[in-house]
């Protein structure tokens, strides 16, 4: 179905039924945002569980140079193994985004709080952990799956901060992999709970 038709249908529904309860309005906003293909701050709210590493090359040329999709899967597996040493565990590590622009991240049993802003036009989220410099991540996905993709240095900064002092060798391993592929974005695949 054409996105424009979906948009107009939902807009007409909202216009014709202005007395919809807030719950229905929230649901319609979510349908509308997913129909037009991008997130809003509302879509980010909730609990997101870590599923694994996400890797994206900034150009198809770099993907070909790296060896294609099979190489991407291999890179994700290697980095996922290193992140496990830092406490990133599938289904356990989580991000909780709140409506007021705050969030919590639980990694390795440690909860760290911060603030976030989401720029829907750029499809970027800026995470500001307490006592840490802000980092930007590209946001991709749907209303139930989310990828936060960072530039290599930003990802290393976040992984080091969240992992604490538990994995110097893991950080060195991740750094070595990232240096091999210039132009690669790396991050976390999350699933909404």
Higher pLDDT, 32 or 152: 152
Q: Residue 9 pLDDT > 80, yes or no?
A: no
Q: Same structural domain for residues 33 and 50?
A: no
One domain for residues 95 and 112: yes
Look at residue 38 and tell me whether its pLDDT is greater than 70.
no
At residue 3, the pLDDT reads 47
120 and 138 in a common domain = yes
Q: For residue 21, is pLDDT > 50?
A: no
User: Tens digit of pLDDT for each residue in 110-146?
Assistant: 899 999 999 989 999 999 998 788 999 999 988 899 9
- 81 and 164 part of one domain: yes
Question: Are 32 and 47 members of one domain?
Answer: no
The answer to whether residues 188 and 139 belong to one domain is yes
Residue of 33, 39, 38, 36 lying closest to 116 (CA atoms): 39
Task: Give residue 115's pLDDT.
Answer: 96
For residue 55, what is the domain's CATH number?
Answer: 2.40.128.280
Tell me the residue range of the domain where 14 lies. 3-37
pLDDT value of residue 2: 45
Phi/psi for 68 (5° steps) reads: 85, -165
One domain for residues 88 and 146: yes
For residues 20 and 91, state if they share a domain. Answer: no
Q: Which of 9-18, 38-47, 123-132, 183-192 has the lowest mean pLDDT?
A: 9-18
pTM score, two decimals?
0.73
Same domain, 92 and 151: yes
Q: Tally the domains of the chain.
A: 2
């Amino acid at each position: 179905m054409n996105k424009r038709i979906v948009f107009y249908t939902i807009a007409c529904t909202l216009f014709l039924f202005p007395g919809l309860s807030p719950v229905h309005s929230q649901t319609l906003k979510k349908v509308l945002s997913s129909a037009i293909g991008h997130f809003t701050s509302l879509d980010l709210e909730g609990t997101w569980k870590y599923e694994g590493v996400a890797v994206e090359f900034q150009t198809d040329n770099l993907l070909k140079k790296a060896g294609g999709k099979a190489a991407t899967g291999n890179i994700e597996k290697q980095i996922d193994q290193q992140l496990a040493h830092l406490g990133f565990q599938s289904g356990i590590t989580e991000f909780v985004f709140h409506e007021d622009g705050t969030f919590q991240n639980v990694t390795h049993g440690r909860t760290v709080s911060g603030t976030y802003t989401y720029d829907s036009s750029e499809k970027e989220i800026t995470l500001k952990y307490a006592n840490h410099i802000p980092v930007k991540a590209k946001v991709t996905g749907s209303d139930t799956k989310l990828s936060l993709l960072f530039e290599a240095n930003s990802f290393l900064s976040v992984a080091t901060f969240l992992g604490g002092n538990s994995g110097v060798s893991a950080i060195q391993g991740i750094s070595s992999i990232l240096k091999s592929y210039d132009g690669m974005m790396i991050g976390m695949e999350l699933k909404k709970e």
